[in-house]
Amino acid sequence: MVKLVKKVFFFYYDGFRSMTIGRKLWIIILIKLFIIFAILKLFFFPDFLKTHFKTDQQRSNYVIEQLTK
Amino acid sequence: MEHFNLALVDWSRAQFALTALYHWLFVPLTLGTSFIIAIMETIYVKTGKDIWKRITKFWMVLFAINFAIGVATGIILEFEFGTNWSNYSWFVGDIFGAPLAIEGIMAFFLESTFFAVMFFGWNKVSKGFHLTSTWLVALGSNLSALWILVANAWMQNPVGMHFNPETARNEMVNFWAVLFSPTAINKFLHTISSAYVMSAIFVLGVSAWFLLKKRNQALAKRSMIVASTFGLIMSVFMVITGDESAREVFRVQPMKFASMEGLYHGQTDAPLTAVGFFTKTPKPEAPNANEWGPKIKIPGMLSYMAALNTHAYVPGINDLIHGNTAHNIISYYERIKMGKLAIAALKEFQLAKKAANDSVARTALKTFEANYKYFGYGYYNDPHKLIPDVPLVFYSFHTMVGLGLLFVLIFLLTLIYGLKGKLPVKRWILYVALWAIPFAYLAQEAGWMVAEFGRQPWVVQNYMPTLSAVSNINQTSVIITFFLFGVIFTVLLIAEIKIMLNQIKQLKDGGQQ
């Protein structure tokens, strides 16, 4: 089991180390994920119902109010 | 409608549309090239010829670039559900939650696990295991597409649910009805087959460039044979599923169907407009808003497309607005009345529940359930506001179909010339293949514009229009994020094009024979 885990680990480790274009792509992916989750999600995309209401009952009441106004 | 901030609705729609259109620039290439690569690697394993390994690895690099740039762009759409479309998110609750959860857990993990083997596993794992991994990546990416398309299909044709008036949520009562609805099946099959066609055009076009430059000709010729064969087969599938999809649209979204053809007045033996254009933008209020330039029509074809019968009656926009008793079409005026009853009844039900007045609640619930079918219509007073942008839907539909048919011809010609060994000398077809690439993207976007703009003003057909779906948030933040996304996505797109062009230009070991 330990041998297998080691094998899998080194498979990924060697793979990442020998990347060429892959390194550039991974940098792009990581920058993108940072922008998406650390900036966009935090500052621009709060979950409206989760942040404005504490319970599902309150959320239901609010949505029904919006739907029937 | 007066109490809705329509500017906020429009900006929210624009933001979502921008995100979705950009996201869809990356996805089809992933869906299709994953299978093309799997086919190429299969040929390599079967023949043992090194050229096929080099071919596979080259296209794998382009696949990886597209995948890396495109990955997670779809997550922003999910953010937008929660922030900008909170009423909608709540309303569709269980229906969206299940498919998207399955997408994330199953398909993504399947894809990303075997992705590593695909890239790191050359000469480290057996040929068979590597090939299996490549096929599993293709399967995984297409399974991702399945679940999101099932969710979108439900928006077009809501089935398998029960609306709970106490929680204002649609609760899934039949998962299989949602998964196997004819709308979902046709949407999935047509979307993926069109993605395969687009990917085949991409491979064809890039290979054509190599032949025009007289570089990597061995790779290019072989790639073109694979791409044109795959593309041709998938084109046939795309046309068949497109035809089935149109019939499904006729059945469940007759207003969209009429808009696709710019059909204002219903008729039997309805012709399909092969080529046509509006000389005047039709005003939906004008009963004879039907200003056309010269048209090339195919007699009876629209009726056939709708109902497999060239004499079938196809209702026009005005039949839907005003009703047509001869063809059992209930008018939008009637639907609006029933919708208003449903909205009022839901309000009354809520108030009665709060006041613990069970008999009033029961009566209100009965009224609500009797009229719920047309709930969304109750937000409107003028039925003409329920007509989508007809020219936009018309031109998108005809652009998509026209280009789709053109691609069939391109695949046929490149396959014939390819099998005869004449591709390097037929430079005109090489230029056609190369320049088809941007048009393949245009066809993809046009298809989604038909699907989504054609559904307007609905976000959930008949039940929820976009104006009641948006969150009550600051319009300024929506405007800011609209332009922010415009910049971010454009930067990503430029990065992808640059990196891809570099890889294409740098390729040296593609062989010459």
Distance, in angstroms, between A53 CA and closest chain B CA?
A: 12
| Cis peptide leading into residue B457 (ω within 30°) | yes
B86/A69 touch (CB, cutoff 8 Å), yes or no: no
Q: Inter-chain contact B346–A68, Cβ cutoff 8 Å?
A: yes
CB contact under 8 A, B90 and A49: yes
Please tell me the least confidently modeled range out of B4-8, B209-213, B458-462.
B4-8
CB atoms B471 and A11 under 8 Å: no
CA-to-CA dists, residue B189 to A24, B5, B143, B236, B399, angstroms: 34, 37, 12, 12, 20
B396 sits in which H/E element: helix B390-419
Name the residue in chain B with its Cα closest to that of A35. B488
Flag whether residue B494 sits within 8 Å of chain A, measured between CB atoms.
Answer: no
Token couple for B129: 């295991």
B120/A64 CB distance under 8 A: no
What is the C-alpha separation between B142 and B34, in angstroms, rounded? Answer: 9
Q: CA-to-CA distance for B368 and B371, rounded, in angstroms?
A: 5
**Does A30 contact B at CB distance below 8 Å?**
no
Quote the CA–CA distance of B153 and B451 in Å, as a whole number. Answer: 10
> Does B288 score more than 70 pLDDT?
no
Is residue B197 within 8 A of residue B231, CB to CB? The reply is: yes
Determine the 3-state secondary structure of B178 from DSSP.
helix
The answer to whether the CB atoms of B90 and A26 lie below 8 A apart is: no
Residue B107 pLDDT more than 90? no
Q: Can you read off the two tokens belonging to residue B242?
A: 């497109």
Say if the Cβ atoms of A67 and B481 lie within 8 Å: no
Q: Which of B61, B166, B344 sits opposite A21 (nearest CB)?
A: B61
- Report pLDDT for B20: 93
Domain boundaries, chain A: 2-68
**Contact B468/A45, CB-based, under 8 Å?**
no
B87 closest CB neighbour out of A32, A46, A63? A63
Q: What is the pLDDT of residues B360-416, one digit of tens each?
A: 999 999 999 999 999 999 999 999 999 999 999 999 999 999 999 999 999 999 999
Check A67 against B166: CB less than 8 A apart. no
In this predicted model, what pLDDT tens digit does every residue of B482-512 receive, in sequence order? 999 899 999 999 999 999 999 999 988 777 6
Residue B458 is given by DSSP the state E
Q: Which chain B residues contact residue A21 at CB under 8 A?
A: 61, 64-65, 499, 503
Specify the pairing of strand B464-465 against strand B458-460.
antiparallel
Select from B79, B133, B484 the residue whose CB has the most chain A CBs within 10 Å, as the one to mutate to test that interface.
B79
Q: Beta partners for B161?
A: B172
Distance CA B218, CA B60 (A): 17
Q: Do B499 and A21 touch (CB under 8 A)?
A: yes
pLDDT exceeds cutoff 70 at B289: no
Ramachandran bin of B300, using left for φ above 0, alpha for ψ from -120 to 50, beta for the remaining angles: left
Q: Which whole number is the average pLDDT over B315-337? A: 95
CB-CB contact of B228 with B208 (8 Å): no
Give pLDDT, residue B71. 85
Which residue has better confidence, B143 or B338? B338
Q: What is the pLDDT of residue B110?
A: 75
Span between the terminal Cα atoms of chain A, in Å = 62
Candidates B386, B348, B383; CA nearest to B365 is B348
What secondary structure does DSSP assign to B319-365, as a single string? HHHH-BGGGTB--HHHHHHHHHHHHHHHHHHHHHHHTT-HHHHHHHH
Indicate the pLDDT class of residue A13, thresholds 50, 70 and 90: confident
Give CA–CA dist A24/A31, Å, rounded.
Answer: 11
pLDDT band at B286 (very low <50, low <70, confident <90, very high): low
Judge whether residue B109 has pLDDT over 80: no
What are B247's two structure tokens? 């019939």
Query: What pLDDT score was predicted for residue B2?
Result: 60
- With H, G, I as helix, E, B as strand and everything else as coil, classify residue B281: coil
Percent of chain B with pLDDT over 90: 82
Say if residues A48 and B469 touch (Cβ distance below 8 Å).
no
The answer to whether A67 contacts B68, with C-beta atoms less than 8 Å apart, is no
Look at residues A56, A54, A43, A38 and name the one whose alpha carbon lies nearest to residue B89. A56
B116 neighbourhood in chain A, CB within 8 Å = 11-12, 15
Exposed, middle or buried, B260 (CB in 10 Å: 0-12/13-18/19+)? buried
Contact of A31 with chain B, judged by CB distance below 8 Å, is answered with no
Chain A residues lying within 8 Å of B484, measured CB to CB: 40, 44
Among the partner residues B83, B119, B343, nearest to A68 by beta-carbon distance? B343
Range with lowest mean pLDDT among B66-75, B82-91, B365-374, B440-449: B66-75
Is pLDDT of B108 > 80?
Answer: no
Q: Could you tell me if A43 lies within 8 Å of chain B, comparing CB atoms?
A: no
Average pLDDT over residues B150-159: 95
Query: What residue has token string 């999809």?
Result: B245
Q: Each residue of A34-45: pLDDT tens digit? A: 999 998 888 888
pLDDT for B501 equals: 93
Q: How far is CA B261 from the centre of its chain?
A: 18
**Average pLDDT of the segment spanning B422-430:** 95
User: For residue B65, with 0-12 CB atoms within 10 Å meaning exposed, 13-18 middle and 19 or more buried, which class applies?
Assistant: buried
Dist CA A33 CA A27 (whole Å): 10
pLDDT single digits (tens) B171-226: 999 999 999 999 999 999 999 999 999 999 999 999 999 999 999 999 999 999 99
ipTM computed for the complex:
0.89
Q: Are B120 and A32 inside 8 Å of each other by CB?
A: no
Compute the mean pLDDT over every residue in chain A, rounded to the nearest whole number.
89
Indicate the residue of A41, A48, A56 with minimum beta-carbon distance to B86.
A48
Closest chain B C-alpha to A30 CA, distance in angstroms: 10
Per the CB < 8 A criterion, the answer to whether B95 and B172 are in contact is: yes
Sequence letter at residue B452: E
pLDDT of residue B290: 57
Instruction: Name the pLDDT band for B97 (thresholds 50, 70, 90).
Output: confident
Percent of chain B with pLDDT over 70: 97
Q: Which two tokens stand for residue B379?
A: 């937000």
Q: What pLDDT does A18 receive?
A: 85
Q: What is the mean pLDDT of residues B88-92?
A: 93
| Beta carbon pairs, A and B, within 8 Å | 108
Among B316, B276, B278, residue whose Cα is nearest residue B298: B276
